[in-house]
Amino acid sequence: METRRGEETDPAALQAMQHGWCLGSEGFRRQMLARLEGSLGGHHAGQLHLQAAQAKAERLIAEELDHLGWREEDLAGRAKNDPLKLEIAARLRRETTLSIKSIAARVHLGTSKTANAKLHAHMRHHDPPNPSQPLLDI
């Protein structure tokens, strides 16, 4: 009993329990994040929102790589302004809440500043206009 009590008060174990939202294997955590996708509210912790967005981004990237017939290494090997990489980044920007900096790092687009300019130009020329938003005639 005394040995068990010592294990329960281990500071590292307690810290992991206090700061983590999920106890279990990595596969279990991914499965829980997939189930939470789209159902997180304002009352959920910011870290949980970030992890859910990252999990969704990884799923979207895997879909796009599979669709293109690419491997993970192809993202790093292709040019930073490759139109197909920019399309992956545009999808991440539309469908997740990840920052430009995170997207640029994950898809290998260079610095966040240049990636922002490239991505903005790409989305302006390739994304269809939103039909629910009125077009401004200036």
- From the first residue on, what is the mean pLDDT of each consecutive set of 10 residues in the chain (138 residues)? 56 53 65 62 61 87 94 94 94 91 94 92 77 52
Amino acid 66: pLDDT = 94
Within 10 angstroms of residue 49's Cβ, the number of other Cβ atoms is 15
Residue 126 Cα distances to 24, 91, 92, 116, angstroms: 42, 11, 14, 15
Do the Cβ atoms of 129 and 89 come closer than 8 Å? no
Within 10 angstroms of residue 64's Cβ, the number of other Cβ atoms is 19
Q: Which two tokens stand for residue 4?
A: 């068990």
Amino acid 88: pLDDT = 95
